[in-house]
Structure 1
Amino acid sequence: MTVHDLWKNLSKDEIAQRRQAGRDRWQRRWRDGTGRDALQRKQSYKEQKKAQALLDDANQMQDPKAQRIRRDSLTVDTLLTRHLAAKSDRAPKTIEADHHHARGVRNHFGDRLVSTIDTTEIEVWSQRSDIARSSRKKQLEMFRAAIKRGVRDKLIDSDPTDGIVVSLGHKELPHWSSSELMAVIGAAANDREKALLSVLGLMGLRSGEARTLLVGDLSRGQLSVKNSGGDTDTTKTRASRRVLPVLMAVLPLLEQQAGDRPKSDWMFPSPRMPGQAIGKRYVSDAVTRAVARANQSREEPVKRINVHGLRHTFAAIALSEAEADLLSVSRAMGHSRPSITLDQYGHLAPAGLAPLMAKMDELVAGAR
């Protein structure tokens, strides 16, 4: 990779004309791959510092002994590029989301030198009202992750995003109680749908994870979650790839569903399209049918929630009724970080220290 001055050898008048017209002066050239047959690419910039920063960045990643990126030329775009490159082994949909959030940061700060940005400017940007809070939060998180990587690699002295928070406010996610969930499962139209709703509501799987389960994923009372159902053969994140002990109430339903079929068969095959798994619409219709049937014999009807609401139901029951700890629930749900579980469901966790001390008393009594 090299940087070239496109105005080199031009007269003063020609340079003045190009500067007045806002023409690009610096050009970065590189090849995609190695060898003489590799495709040659180029990109032009108005500022030399940006082109030079990208060149220095490439030199550093290709040669550990190369001179590190000069601080006075480090741009936000370079930091984001480095961070995204280091996260390129994520699931395709996660990578797509990362690039989307990074684009929001680039649109405002991309060409800026990191050394010229202060905390107040970032905080004002994070509080703008032109997009949703959730999008602003994701963009700030992406910016912060890129900055922290720069601090860790000793390219930046401090983190200007430190202390900035985008509050989403508390929004109660729709879910059922355990009695409502069991009423809906019990009213499922057939054994397939009963097993499906049990996996969603009692084990916390995402809809795509449940739809793409294979018969071979059930083994020795455990269920392996390996696919997110997102047109890929992997899960949403590395943490989403997990092995879950199957509840005793759910195990017979799954064993009956699996039968003696080959391990490569879908656990929930489509009733209309042989050789394919059930689709998104089937899962949604199964919930609708079960709720309608359950409400036929209930004085207080169960409110219809969407399919993802069954995953929220699992978290709510685990934390508020089963008094599970947040870390266990996070691992069961396949969240990439426990903080995600805490942000969404922390208010449902047992309040106070009484439950903890009661369990400690039980342990002490047993030891005596």
Structure 2
Amino acid sequence: MVSLKQRPNGVWRARYRDQDNKEHSKHFKTKREGEAWLVEQKAAIATGQWASPAAGRIMWDEWVSRWLEMQVWADGSVTSAITSTSSVPWRQKSIRDVKSGDVQLWVTHEADRGLAPSTIRTRLNYVHMAFRVSVDNQVIPRSPASRTKAPRQRKKSVTMRILTADQVAAALEAAGEFRLFVAVCAFAGLRLGEAAGLQAGDIDFERNTISVRRQVLGTSIPSTNVGPPKAGSERDIFVPRELIDMLAGDKKLSPDTLLFRTPLGHLYNRNNAGHEWRKIRVLLGFDDEVKLHTLRHTFASNLIASGSDVVTVQRALGHSQPSITLDVYSHLWPSAEDKTRSATPTFMGHVRGLRAPCGLH
């Protein structure tokens, strides 16, 4: 039901009822303005884009808290979302009062203060998600972040570090009690958290596989906990028999026993595992760019060098999409030019090796 009537003071009062039969009204100086407003509200209701005027009064911080309660994310994602949504200047502003210009200005200021384009893009993504869910829940009619432009990320020269076989062997030799942890990173390509979350039951001694079913999250002992791996990272990895033999001493453990703990019995996390690796790095004279994650890069490079295609590498590394694998490792695959350079001489050599007419030799 809609109505538009002129009041004794000459003001036009426009009224309509929403899909819940709740009445809303607004006053206008002219009839034309009232009619235009009613058409807009009716169209928004019909297309599912209508938002309650009262709902939009909620403050940004309050809405973000409600939005985060709806998510089923791992702790790391929640932390990133909080950091991102807390960096905006409209935290104590009603969500309906945030304009597209406010969002673009925030992005520009983040770039001006030296934040990396990839970090700004991540923060903008979380902010946009919060706005988008508010639209879905009819808090606001449209997201002010939908057309925000993030800074372009310049292509950087590839500086990925890859260890040689001799360097990996030296790292294993220097690792001491941390040796098996280093081994599963180097020969199964596990992330730090995935290696820390391995249980005895994840090792299949018959099929020579390691199953990734969980990861350790957190950067300190109080914050450390075990959770599911990154989305799409659950996988079974075929590994060398030699690695299985290295882990064979854990056959007698119960399946749910974690394989790796610090000498004090704590779970390995980013800090204490990183500390163990830094000791190895100093001992061997590696520079600061050689991190524990370098072992995962080394694993991937060896798969590629052996002729593995992108999907095979993607599945082994637990990337959710092949595009992620290509973004990180595309420079390791031979280019079309490389293949041409190697294929043509091989073909020509084969031809010249045959008995050819017309003096081809």
TM-score by length of 2: 0.59
Cα distance per residue 1:194-223 (max 9 Å; x no partner): 432121122222223212321111124222
Match of 1:259 among 243, 251, 255: 251
Matched residue, 2:239 = 246
Give 1:177 deviation, angstroms: 3.2
1:353–1:258 Cα change, 3 Å: farther
Q: Secondary structure at 1:94's aligned position in 2?
A: helix
Q: Whole-Å Cα distance in 1 between the matches of residues 124 and 49 of structure 2?
A: 30
Matched residue, 1:20 = none
Give 1:170 deviation, angstroms: 2.2
Matched residue, 1:364 = none
Give 1:281 deviation, angstroms: 6.7
Q: Secondary structure at 2:51's aligned position in 1?
A: coil
Matched residue, 1:228 = 215
Q: Is the CA contact (8 Å cut-off) linking 1:175 and 1:310 kept in structure 2?
A: no
1:151–1:113 Cα change, 3 Å: closer
Matched residue, 1:94 = 77
1:138 and 2:122 aligned: yes
Q: Whole-Å Cα distance in 1 between the matches of residues 257 and 313 of structure 2?
A: 29
Give 1:104 deviation, angstroms: 1.9
Matched residue, 1:176 = 162
Q: How does 1:68-79 map to 2 (within 5 A)?
A: 68-70=50-52, 74=56, 77=60
Number of residue-to-residue matches in the alignment? 282
Give 1:89 deviation, angstroms: 0.9
Q: Is the CA contact (8 Å cut-off) linking 1:335 and 1:341 kept in structure 2?
A: yes
Cα distance per residue 1:71-106 (max 9 Å; x no partner): 8975893885675444x2111222122121122246
- Listed as ranges, the gaps of 5+ residues in structure 1 are 1-65, 296-300, 360-368
1:309 and 2:288 aligned: no
Q: Secondary structure at 1:240's aligned position in 2?
A: coil
1:238–1:226 Cα change, 3 Å: same
Q: Is the CA contact (8 Å cut-off) linking 1:134 and 1:168 kept in structure 2?
A: no
Q: How does 1:254-293 map to 2 (within 5 A)?
A: 254-255=247-248, 257-270=249-262, 272-273=263-264, 276-277=266-267, 283-284=273-274, 287=277
Cα distance per residue 1:252-274 (max 9 Å; x no partner): 2222x41323223332344x33x
Q: Is the CA contact (8 Å cut-off) linking 2:98 and 2:144 kept in structure 1?
A: no
Matched residue, 1:200 = 185
The structure that has the greater radius of gyration is: 2
Q: Whole-Å Cα distance in 1 between the matches of residues 160 and 209 of structure 2?
A: 28
Matched residue, 1:8 = none
1:322–1:121 Cα change, 3 Å: farther
**Alignment RMSD:** 4.4
Match of 1:160 among 141, 146, 152: 146
Q: Whole-Å Cα distance in 2 between the matches of residues 266 and 115 of structure 1?
A: 48
Q: Is the CA contact (8 Å cut-off) linking 2:310 and 2:322 kept in structure 1?
A: yes
1:102–1:187 Cα change, 3 Å: same
Matched residue, 2:230 = 237
Q: Whole-Å Cα distance in 1 between the matches of residues 159 and 153 of structure 2?
A: 16
Give 1:172 deviation, angstroms: 4.5
Cα distance per residue 1:320-348 (max 9 Å; x no partner): x3454444444433345555544444444
Q: Whole-Å Cα distance in 1 between the matches of residues 175 and 52 of structure 2?
A: 65
Give the residue type in structure 1 aligned to 2:181: L
Q: Whole-Å Cα distance in 1 between the matches of residues 104 and 96 of structure 2?
A: 16
Give the residue type in structure 2 aligned to 1:161: R
Matched residue, 1:128 = 112
Q: Secondary structure at 2:156's aligned position in 1?
A: coil
TM-score by length of 1: 0.58
Q: Whole-Å Cα distance in 2 between the matches of residues 341 and 148 of structure 1?
A: 28
